[in-house]
Chain A
Amino acid sequence: MVAVEVERMLRLAEQCLERAKSFIGKNTDPPLPPSSTPVHTGHKASSPTKTGHRRVLSDGGGELSPFLPPEVFQRLQTVEAQNTSKKELTPIEQASRLNQKLKANYEARLARLTPGQACQKTSLTLSLQRQMMENLIIAKARQEALQRKMEERRLRLQEEANRRFAASGGMTAEEQEQRTLYASVLEYEQDHVQTQRKPIRTVSTSSQSFSTYSSLSSLVSHNLHTKHNNEEGEEPHPLVTVDRENSFEDLEQFLTQLDWASAHDSTDDTISNSELPCDPLILDEGHIQELEMRVLKEHLKAIVKDIHIAIDQLLSLCLLSFECLNTASSKDLCLSSIEEAFFTPLWHALLALFRYCSPSLQGSYPYESAVQELKLLVTDYCPQKKLECLVRTLRLICACAEDCRCLHEVDATPRTSAIGADDLLPILSFVALQCQCPQLISECAALEEFIHEGYLIGEEGYCLTSMQSALAYVESLHTGEAQLPADTST
């Protein structure tokens, strides 16, 4: 089993090295040596998201996501980890540096030679080649020895870890991971005897939080992408900007992500499977949004669970490594330092996901449906229709408030919390502001003149009056005093 592990790790390390080379390429000095920290399964699991993530970015039309793609994130973390530890060159690297120096010397001497000393030149070249070859062979041997030694040590530490965990008979994947982590902590400790709590933060947190981050970032950047489109509402028809042809594609991508996530978390993914075989033509926009929301919520749940598990694991690992910390107060200390390292890179993405999934009424902000309705007021050119639009707006406000109440209260009679004017007017002011239609004031003034008498004391009249009041109130926020929109003394 260990041989398989090692082989896999080496392969991963190779891949890392190659990727790092291609990214960093020309402008930096020698490519990073493969990280000494064991790369965990999280890395492997992240591969399906990577492609998805790329596509999301390209969908965004070159807009930069505020969240780093997982690969970059991991690279940053690795670099950080290496900066904190002392950087040592491998024997081969040392040899190649030496060889470079030799070559420089050789070139300098060659330049000083006169054209007649051709045979000396040949001998110089030969001796350089010999020296370089020797250096490389020696370095290779040393490297191999070193690697053997390292491997031995790793095995020894692994043994130690195994002994440590031996008490608990069977091995779950979790325990295995814990064991590997423990071994790497021991290793790190041997390398850096002087540092104490740090190794845990650097070694384990980076690897743990990476798997969470990779799942989170792809999700969040997708959300931001769609949300951004939704919110680009400066122009009069913001609804149109949502890319219709993409949304189904996005859904598919989501579902594959869910499949991956649930495979990863071993949570149930019944929704995605039951929904996938549907004919795409049947799904309309609203349905897709609803599906997306459901999938997102599932994701959020899984991620939260992941984070809890990861932190628990880290804490138990920490206590395992430093038994002296196993007191209530030091535990708190441990937890806070783990959380600091763990959450700092994740928080932005996490918060974005939470905000997207928050149980708002419909859409991304409260009373959105009422605002959308009110925006339609200016598109009609008939007072009667405008009034109907106003009535619908106010009714939607009441409906939204009712929905909200149902969300928060388990049992409530309509009497106790029905919307009265005390609540309606402030909400209406908010809706009027969100609507961003400066001409609402003049619209209402015109409507007041042309409203049919019969409607004046009815629902239409009430809605118009409330709208005018709300607008007057909003206006008064500038001047500090409410001005009456219409004179009453006529």
Chain B
Amino acid sequence: MAAGGMGGKTYSFKVVLLGEGCVGKTSLVLRYCENKFNDKHITTLQASFLTKKLNITGKRVNLAIWDTAGQERFHALGPIYYRDSNGAILVYDVTDEDSFQKVKNWVKELRKMLGNEICLCIVGNKIDLDKDRHVSVEEAESYAESVGAKHYHTSAKLNKGIEELFLDLCKRMMETAQAEERLKGNGASQSASSRRGVQIVDDELQATPAGGCCSSG
């Protein structure tokens, strides 16, 4: 996974999927990975762990999508899943008020543990069931804005909004990574012993702003 050659580098991003059980995170990610390519891109771990290769404005991106268990009793295990993540997709069911509440809890937790460098996407899934909607669009969008997250509406069933969601997330993660690089200066080409997935061509990790999660081994 070494950095690419002249044209640019290969970014490797870890994206964690959070959300209550039954909100459809598994279907969402399966739909995404299945649609563009075909079944062979689903690893043998089925929907728990998926990878996807993208090419965005000439830059290669490898996405590793980590599913998490949504059941309440596994909630305490969240941190070991989302540490070192570059992005998080927080899924709720538009027909289920509770699941939106869960998303709010996740946002708080993520911001607290990982700071601002993680790109958050709040996703209202199942918009095909719009007539049973219990979470209003305005409320969800204003909340997302207030916490620096982006809001999306998707339907895994109808395959709506999913491609855009991931593409958008990738772009934002690239921006974040690039900003990080710039901040650290671009002189040194020696790779740090970073435990982050992003290829950072610097060794001054301490300069990271609000970097709560970068472990240096």
- Chain A residues packing against B (C-beta within 8 Å): 394-395, 398-399, 402, 414-416, 418-422, 424-426, 453-454, 456-459, 462-463, 465-466, 468-469, 472-473, 476, 481-486, 488-490
**Contact B71–A418 (Cβ < 8 Å):** no
User: Given the complex, which residues of B lie within 8 Å of A418, measured CB to CB?
Assistant: 26, 30, 42, 46-47
Contact of A420 with B26 at beta-carbon distance under 8 Å, contacts A485-B80, A488-B213 already known: yes
Add 12 more A-B contacts to A398-B44, A422-B67, A424-B45 (CB < 8 A).
A394-B48, A414-B42, A415-B27, A415-B34, A420-B25, A425-B71, A458-B51, A459-B43, A462-B49, A476-B76, A481-B76, A490-B215
Closest to A462 in B: B49
Q: Complex formed: what's the CA distance from A395 to B195 in Å? A: 25
Closest to B197 in A: A457
Which of B17, B80, B81, B113 has most A Cβ within 10 Å?
A: B80
Closest 3 CB pairs of A and B: A420-B26, A482-B76, A421-B67
Q: What are 10 of the A-B contact pairs (CB < 8 Å)?
A: A418-B46, A421-B68, A422-B71, A456-B197, A457-B14, A465-B80, A472-B80, A473-B77, A476-B76, A484-B80
Which of A394, A398, A457 has most B Cβ within 10 Å?
A: A457
**Contact B12–A457 (Cβ < 8 Å):** yes
Contact of A469 with B64 at beta-carbon distance under 8 Å, contacts A418-B47, A456-B197, A459-B43 already known: no
User: Given the complex, which residues of A lie within 8 Å of B27, measured CB to CB?
Assistant: 415-416
User: Given the complex, which residues of A lie within 8 Å of B73, measured CB to CB?
Assistant: 473, 482
Closest to B194 in A: A453
User: Given the complex, which residues of B lie within 8 Å of A472, measured CB to CB?
Assistant: 76-77, 80
Q: Complex formed: what's the CA distance from A476 to B69 in Å? A: 16
User: Given the complex, which residues of B lie within 8 Å of A415, measured CB to CB?
Assistant: 27, 30-31, 34
**Contact B76–A395 (Cβ < 8 Å):** no
Say which residue of B1, B49, B77 sits within 8 Å of A469 (CB atoms). Answer: B77
Q: Complex formed: what's the CA distance from A453 to B69 in Å? A: 24
Q: Complex formed: what's the CA distance from A395 to B44 in Å? A: 6
Number of A-B contacts (CB under 8 A): 122
- Chain B residues packing against A (C-beta within 8 Å): 1, 12, 14, 17, 21, 25-27, 30-31, 34, 39, 42-49, 51, 64, 66-71, 73-77, 79-81, 83-84, 113, 193-195, 197, 212-213, 215
Closest Cβ of chain A to B35, distance in Å, is 10
Q: Complex formed: what's the CA distance from A482 to B14 in Å? A: 24
Closest Cβ of chain B to A275, distance in Å, is 34
**Contact A424–B195 (Cβ < 8 Å):** no
Closest to A394 in B: B45
User: Given the complex, which residues of B lie within 8 Å of A469, measured CB to CB?
Assistant: 69, 74, 77, 80-81
User: Given the complex, which residues of B lie within 8 Å of A402, measured CB to CB?
Assistant: 46
Q: Complex formed: what's the CA distance from A486 to B76 in Å? A: 12
**Contact A419–B77 (Cβ < 8 Å):** no
Closest to B13 in A: A457
**Contact A473–B74 (Cβ < 8 Å):** yes
**Contact B64–A484 (Cβ < 8 Å):** no
Closest Cβ of chain A to B80, distance in Å, is 5
**Contact A488–B79 (Cβ < 8 Å):** yes
Contact of A456 with B77 at beta-carbon distance under 8 Å, contacts A398-B46, A419-B46 already known: no
Q: Complex formed: what's the CA distance from A465 to B79 in Å? A: 10
Closest Cβ of chain A to B81, distance in Å, is 6
User: Given the complex, which residues of A lie within 8 Å of B34, measured CB to CB?
Assistant: 415
Which of A402, A462, A472 has most B Cβ within 10 Å?
A: A462
User: Given the complex, which residues of B lie within 8 Å of A482, measured CB to CB?
Assistant: 73-77
Contact of A420 with B47 at beta-carbon distance under 8 Å, contacts A453-B193, A457-B197, A473-B74 already known: yes
User: Given the complex, which residues of B lie within 8 Å of A476, measured CB to CB?
Assistant: 76
Say which residue of B39, B69, B76, B215 sits within 8 Å of A424 (CB atoms). Answer: B69
Closest Cβ of chain A to B181, distance in Å, is 18
Say which residue of A422, A459, A468, A481 sits within 8 Å of B26 (CB atoms). Answer: A422
Say which residue of A426, A453, A488 sits within 8 Å of B80 (CB atoms). Answer: A488
Q: Complex formed: what's the CA distance from A218 to B134 in Å? A: 63
Contact of A398 with B45 at beta-carbon distance under 8 Å, contacts A457-B14, A462-B66, A488-B80 already known: yes
Closest to B86 in A: A457
